[in-house]
Structure 1
Amino acid sequence: MTGHSHSHQSDFNKVSAAGLLIALGIIYGDIGTSPLYVMKAIVGEGHQIQAPLILGGLSCVFWTITLQTTVKYVILTLRADNNGEGGIFALYALVRKRATWLYIPAIIGGSTLLADGIITPPISVASAIEGLRILYPSIDTIPIILAILSGLFLLQAFGTKTVGRLFGPLMLLWFGMLAVLGITHLIKMPQVLSALNPYYAWQLLTQYPDGFWILGAVFLCTTGAEALYSDLGHCGRGNIRVSWVFVKSCLLLNYFGQGAWLLSQVNQPLTHNPFYALMPEWFLLPGICIATLAAIIASQALISGSFTLIGEAMRLSFWPQSLVRYPTEVRGQLYIPSINWLLWTGCVVVVLYFRESSSMEAAYGLAITVTMLVTTILLSCYLYSQKFPIWVIGLFLLVYLSLEGSFLIANLDKFPHGGWVSVAIGLILASIMYIFIRAHQIKSRLLEFVSLPEQIPGLRELSNDITIPKYGTHLVFMTAAGSEDRIEKNAIESIFLHGPKRADIYWFIHVETLDEPYTKEYKINVLAAEDVIKITFRLGFRVEPTINLFFRQVLEDIVQKKEVDIISRYESLHNKKVTGDFTFIIFEPFLSYDNDLPLMEQVVMKGYFFLKQFTLSKQRWFQLEANRVTVEKVPMVIRPLPEMDLVRVEEPTPEKITTH
């Protein structure tokens, strides 16, 4: 085991040319396209260009990228990999056993990350396409933006394997362009490099009018850091850390190049995006095309990341069970139709509501600040679990809660100007997550379990009772009982009272979701040979629960080892070696009218059952064959019947009737 772990870590930290190219294409789409709008947001379109603002803004950008992206995420957070996987839910899975309340920040972080993910594609594509106005001032960019986004979402159903191969070279071209454009202006005004001095940032925040609130615009330079951590599993820690050196250098060269151009325009109003001002006129059209491709890649990375995030949320009981498809054989790539069209709808609404990228900037960044604060909290729990000194954890919390708290306060200024949109989206998503995890906890608490070994004599007697028609050769119950010797009371009542259900072999299957991402294990407990068998599947939180296929493989294994005989016991079929029939029993709970749940829990459960109407059934979630499944409705909470004070009224019998 130690050797395997060492091999895994070695591969995970390994650096290769192919890995670096893949990292460029997958990891840096969001943060890599930030030069399209950051400096424009700092100055403000139509506002007068001032030297203290440019130097202070550049200084803030440099130190934000250094402290937030490099130190917090690339150096520290990438340490917290869950068997090679990253992201807010992967981090939560690492620390959730430390405290039960940690699901609350995980929900907040996941929902706000998704909320800002809805705004990122529109702002990236809009910022790129609006460059066309330099060449064609009267062009209407909205139809072009909507067409690009719609085409991108339509392609998701086919997977991105082929397109993905182009992402790396295209992003290499993009970052190369950023660097060259920046250098061409930087050499004309090298004094802009004085902004590396943090004094200019301090001066901007403390002395410049409304300087502190400019942090809301500065923060846009690091919004992609969370996505960088989420995509950890695609490229490995080593490739991300090495490629970040190149990416950060290109980004800073472009930011400082834009700063150099802005300093040459001091005391003039900003009339167009400083990013495109770096381009010579002959290069504008190719430059806009490259920027648009980079924006599409950034959008694709966030869409794929949203699918992964929701996939994890479903396994962790944070999200309704939804249809998941796997369009390619690429590991970890999935497609969730409902989420795809939810994101598309959100993007279209954002474009039609804000119309301009400058307006979208007001909505962008507020929600992701909350995600970063949550990551800080969860990461501090992880560092504590790894035996880091308390003073190191305290210093980490002090620095990053102060830094991200400042960004959050500055971003609150955006709330009335559009920030409320991402907050509203985040609240809706967080409410859904809260309802589902609380409903899962309530259902787990209310489930009644009985001893399975104690039921074996009764099950054997029922199985041998030929006076009762046989329900099936093999009866398979999907059970929530994690313990090997426990079973839901509902299952036993179903067998003995609702039928009864006579079978040759009773199977009980439990699916346990693990904190590791890709584990696939099973355990067999033969409680009564040829009569009662329990199977526990231990699956990682990124493993698709294809129980039908898993169960079939387990049957092949145990039949080959002669641990069980699954041949039909009907004499005519047994002689022909025909495999017995298998029938799955699934329990669907409903909220009984006669329940004594507290008011808030009733609200949660009513919300849960309302949302559950639009989700996958357990049958489709476990991918069980339709002709072999019985679904039984069971009341979730029944309180003891109260004394109703009913009085029986007896009719007089004929003998008691007298004639007058």
Structure 2
Amino acid sequence: MSEHKDLNKLSAAGLLISLGIVYGDIGTSPLYTLRAIFNTVSEGGQTINPMMVLGALSCIIWTLTLQTTIKYVVITLRADNKGEGGIFSLYSLVRKKAKWLVIPAVIGGCAMLADGIITPSITVTTAIEGLQVKFTHMRVIPIVLLIITLLFVIQQFGTSLVGKLFGPIMLLWFATLGILGMAYVVQDLSILKALNPYYAAHLIITNPMALVILGGVFLCTTGAEALYSDLGHCGRNNIRVSWVFVKATLILNYLGQGVWLLQHPHYDLRLNPFFQIVPEPYLLFMVALSTIAAIIASQAMISGSFTLISEAVRLNLWPKVRINYPSNERGQIYVPSINWLLCAGCLLIVLIFKRSVNMEGAYGLAINMTFLATTILVAAYMISKKVPRYAIIIFVAVYGAIEFTFLVGNMTKFFHGGFVTVMIGAVLFSVMWGWYVARRIKSRFVKYVEVEDYFEIISELSEDESVAKYSSQLVYMTNANFKTEIESKIIYSILQKEPKRADIYWLVHVDVVDEPFTQDYKVTFLIPGKLVRIDFKLGFRVEQRVNLLYRKVIEELVKNGEVDIISKYTSLHKHKIAGDFRFILLEKHLSKFSKLSVYERSVMWWYYFVLKKLSLSEEKSFGLDSSYVEIEKVPLIFVSAEDIILNRLPA
């Protein structure tokens, strides 16, 4: 709890860290937002005029105000889950309110990952293209591919050291953005009219290309979700205060670019207004700084993807994958499979689109779905917190309308590259949804029995010397949420498949709770000295190292004299040697599923023949030592003997 309070405490260090971690994506949007808007307008046959420039700038300013400031900084940051944020943290706060809330959570998570693949591609490419202002014929693609490859290669070594440099660099970046913008704003103060929402409304109402323009405007706020996702790293107060500075410098830079556009209404579309407002002697410095800022933005996206996937795994929304911890710093994780998947995606995007201006069409469409998903989940959170109904209705109506309008605007990009992120998002959705639904189908066919009914026979089996001893300590992983129940397949494994005599039988249950970093356990002695159940309550951000956690509990129980794990073999008992431990994992394999609908059959096929093969084995996902683990295959039966009707004919 103290750590949570410390995190929310306002401090100079906290403000600097938040600049380095939170604002990479939204902070690099001036690199391409205005270029995307006015390239589209020019290609559509419209000429750039003062009303259009003021309207576009007004749309950007009020999008940053309504979408980023009010929705995320003021409202959504309140929904903190023990100091943690992000779409899955939000989902875990409300998932018990309604089962259907998993749908926006999954859509939002997949959309974030899909759009995340574009972030390194577009930001790094745009930054390096700045060199072409000075060196017209420079080949950009090889440099971009090299930078992106190196960025993903270094992930496995941890980024805590590099992370400490991010804050000062991003402080320099935002200060530079503000100064460059201000230098042009003072040349034409009429640009300040863009602060008036009238110009945004006028553009939307009167311009026939308003929806297309809004698709470009949306790029200014694509990093807004990161403000909430990185809540756990920076704290609410540090994010809120640093956003005031960041927003001011972003708006100044957009206004400065606007002045340049007013001065050059017929500019060459190959030029980027962002680099045109940089004085020529400082151009190379600005290209270098924007490249570093692009790398920082990409790093934030990659780290965010790792966190997102690790949370999805704990919440059973993603196949179990290997998760490494390259440093001792909290929150530092590395997911190899996702790292190389993102790397391949980024490299392909660069090779397919070649120029950043072509990538703008692919950018923003998917993240729009995340914004809508967050609106739904925040509304559910507001209901759970008994917020007045009128406030919830206003919130949903306002942000539903804004985000739906942006979605329609972004749909105009669909055939200009938007379909790429939609396809990536659809593939990710099929993985997440398939894994979630298959596990729910499987759980329907798991049969539970009253454990108390088997106390007597388990006690007798443990003492029955006519049965060869299987292990001194026999451990089963159970999914039974109640201590009074046990899966029938565990009873079958102990008593029938091959009677397994042990000194003590252990049932271990892992419950993933809604708080992020909980590590609690409870011990229940079902049969004193014979059958013991351990319930672990682990936060959705805690690594499930069951082997180590179980050993720790045993050490404490032995120390307290609650269990005796000394071997019962005469020679070993004499020398106080601990007995052996053996984990039994029951792996369900597919049997006939004629009772399932066509949809459920296709999900189970996808689960067993694709997703299960991509997933880590149960023993690896629980962090068990394979030398102590035995896998027993049990059929997942959808047709029981009672369902079969047979007619016996007379002999």
1:371 equivalent to 2:373? Answer no
**SS, match of residue 522 in structure 2:** strand
Q: Which amino acid in structure 2 is aligned with residue 354 of structure 1?
A: F
CA contact (8 A) 1:507 1:533 kept: yes
Q: Which residue of 2 aligns with 1:24?
A: 19
Check conservation: 1:596, 1:637, Cα contact below 8 A.
no
**Which deviates further from its counterpart, 542-551 or 607-616?**
607-616
The alpha-carbon deviation at position 9 of structure 1 amounts to: 5.8
Matches within 5 A, 1:4-153: 4=1, 7=2, 10-44=5-39, 48-153=47-152
Show CA shifts across 1:411-438 (max 9, x none).
Answer: 0000011100011111111111111111
Larger mean Cα displacement after TM superposition, 41-50 or 175-184 = 41-50
Q: Which residue of 1 aligns with 2:211?
A: 212
Deviations 1:165-212 (A, max 9, x none): 110011011001101101111111111001111111111111123123
**Structure 2: which amino acid aligns with 1:42?**
I
Supply the AA of the counterpart residue of 1:570.
Answer: Y
The secondary structure found in structure 2 opposite 1:634 is strand
Structure 1 Cα separation of the partners of residues 23 and 351 of structure 2: 27
Q: CA deviation at 1:571?
A: 1.0
* Closer, same or farther: CA 648–602 of 1 in aligned 2, 3 Å: farther
Contact 2:445 / 2:638 at 8 angstroms: preserved in 1?
Answer: no
Shift in alpha-carbon separation, 1:272–1:646, aligned structure 2, 3 A: farther
Larger radius of gyration: 1
2:336 corresponds to which residue? Answer: 337
Aligned residue runs from structure 1 range 432-443, under 5 A: 432-443=431-442
- 3-state DSSP class of the match of 1:302? helix
2:614 partner SS: coil
- For 1:172-183, list aligned pairs within 5 A: 172-183=171-182
Q: 1:203 to 1:568 in 2, by over 3 A?
A: same
Q: Which amino acid aligns with 1:621?
A: S
2: CA distance between counterparts of 1:313 and 1:8?
Answer: 24
**Contact 1:49–1:270 (Cα < 8 Å) also in 2:** no
Cα distance in structure 2, aligned partners of 1:407 and 1:466: 73
Which sections of structure 1, spanning at least 5 residues, go unmatched?
650-660
The answer to whether the 8 Å contact 2:593/2:639 transfers is: yes
User: 2:21–2:230: 8 Å Cα contact kept in structure 1?
Assistant: yes
Corresponding residue for residue 625 of structure 1: 625
Q: Does 2:522 match 1:528?
A: no
- For 2:501 and 2:491, how far apart are their aligned partners in 1? 12
Contact 2:478/2:508 (<8 A) preserved: yes
1:246 counterpart = 2:245: yes
SS of residue matched to 1:362: coil
Can you list the C-alpha shifts for 1:271-299, whole angstroms capped at 9, x where unaligned? Answer: 40000011111100010000000000000
The whole-number CA distance in structure 1 between the counterparts of 2:168 and 2:640 is 68
Distance (whole Å) between structure 2 residues aligned to residue 289 and residue 228 of structure 1: 25
Does the residue aligned with 2:361 lie in a helix, a strand or coil? helix
Distance 1:640 1:392 in 2: 52
Which of 61-70 and 598-607 deviates more? 598-607
SS at match of 1:423: helix
1:36-90: CA deviation from partner (whole Å, max 9, x where unpaired) = 0011011117654322221110000000000000000000000001111101100
Contact 1:50 1:267 in 2 (8 A): no
* Letter in structure 2 aligned against 1:408: L
Other structure's SS at 1:497 match: helix
Aligned-pair CA distance for 1:596: 2.4
Task: Please name the residue that 1:188 is paired with.
Answer: 187
Q: Give the conservation status (yes or no) of the 8 Å contact 1:20–1:240.
A: yes
Partner of 2:323 in structure 1?
324
Superposed displacement of residue 615, structure 1: 1.1
Partner in structure 2 of residue 298 of structure 1: 297
Contact kept, 8 Å, 1:582 with 1:628, in 2: the verdict is yes
For residues 455-513 of structure 1, the C-alpha deviation after alignment (integer angstroms, 9 at most, x for no partner) is 11101111111011100000000111111111100000000111111111000000001
On the 8 A contact 1:595/1:637 being kept in 2, the answer is no
In structure 1, distance between residues paired with 2:270 and 2:354: 18
Q: d(CA) in 1 for partners of 2:428 and 2:220?
A: 25
2:79·2:378 contact (CA, 8 Å) conserved in 1?
A: yes
Shift of the 195–479 alpha-carbon distance from structure 1 to 2, 3 Å rule, reads same
Letter in 1 for 2:636: M
User: What one-letter code is carried by the residue in structure 2 that aligns with 1:562?
Assistant: G
Matches for 1:480-629 after TM superposition, within 5 Å: 480-593=479-592, 595-610=594-609, 611-629=611-629
How many angstroms apart in 1 are the aligned matches of 2:388 and 2:592? 53
Code of the aligned partner of 1:631: I
Q: Distance in 1 between matches of 2:250 and 2:298?
A: 18
Note the C-alpha offset of 1:12.
3.8
Aligned residue pairs: how many? 644
TM-score relative to the length of structure 2: 0.97
- State how far apart, in whole Å, the 1-side matches of 2:520 and 2:650 are: 59
Aligned to 1:658: none
Verify the 8 A CA contact 2:211 2:406 in the aligned structure 1.
no
- Cα distance in 2 for partners of 1:440, 1:432 equals 12
Percent identity over the alignment is 53
Give 2:511's aligned amino acid: E
Q: Could you tell me how far apart the structure 1 residues matched to 2:205 and 2:99 are? A: 41
CA distance in 2, matches of 1:204, 1:448: 62
Change in Cα spacing, 1:267 to 1:134, as seen in structure 2 (3 Å) is closer
Contact 1:123/1:357, CA 8 A, preserved across alignment:
yes
Cα pair distance change 1:108/1:52, threshold 3 Å: same
> Are the equivalent residues in 2 in contact too, given 1:206–1:212 (CA < 8 A)?
no
The one-letter amino acid paired with 2:35 is: K
Q: CA deviation at 1:644?
A: 5.2
Amino acid at match of 2:363: Y
Report the 3-state secondary structure (helix = DSSP H, G, I; strand = E; otherwise coil) of the residue aligned with 2:630. Answer: strand
What are the Cα deviations for residues 305-358 of structure 1, in whole angstroms up to 9, with x where unaligned? Answer: 000000000011110000000001111111010000100111111111111111
> Residues of 2 paired with 1:415 and 1:595: CA distance?
40
CA gap 1:557/1:424 in 2 versus in 1, 3 angstroms: same
Does 431-440 or 488-497 show the bigger shift?
431-440
Kindly provide the amino acid, as one letter, of the partner of residue 17 in structure 2.
Answer: I
Mapped to 2, the partners of 1:295 and 1:8 lie a distance apart of 31
Aligned-pair distance for 1:269? 4.3
User: CA offsets, 1:386-427, max 9 Å, x none?
Assistant: 111000000001100000010000000000111000111111
Q: Contact (CA 8 Å) 1:29, 1:295: kept in 2 or not?
A: yes
CA distance in 2, matches of 1:209, 1:438: 44
- Give the TM-score taking structure 1 as reference length: 0.96
Task: Tell me the CA shift for residue 628 of structure 1.
Answer: 0.6
Distance 1:118 1:583, change over 3 A: same
1:267 to partner: Cα distance: 4.0
- What do the CA deviations read for 1:371-391 (whole angstroms, capped 9, x no partner)? 100100000010111111000
In 1, are the aligned partners of 2:592 and 2:639 still within 8 Å (CA)? no
Give me the whole-angstrom Cα distance separating, in 2, the residues matched to 1:10 and 1:580: 45
Q: Please give the alpha-carbon distance, in whole angstroms, between the structure 2 residues aligned to 1:101 and 1:277.
A: 49
Give the aligned residue type for 1:407: F
CA distance in 2: counterparts of 1:406 and 1:237, whole angstroms: 29
* Aligned match of 1:636: 636
- Which structure 2 residue ranges, 5 or more long, are not aligned? none
Check the 8 A contact 1:49/1:269 in 2, yes or no.
Answer: no
Give the C-alpha shift of residue 603 in structure 1: 1.4
Distance in 1, matches of 2:294 and 2:48, equals: 27
* 1:218-272 deviation per Cα after TM superposition (whole angstroms, max 9, x unaligned): 0000000011211110000010001001100110110111111111112444440
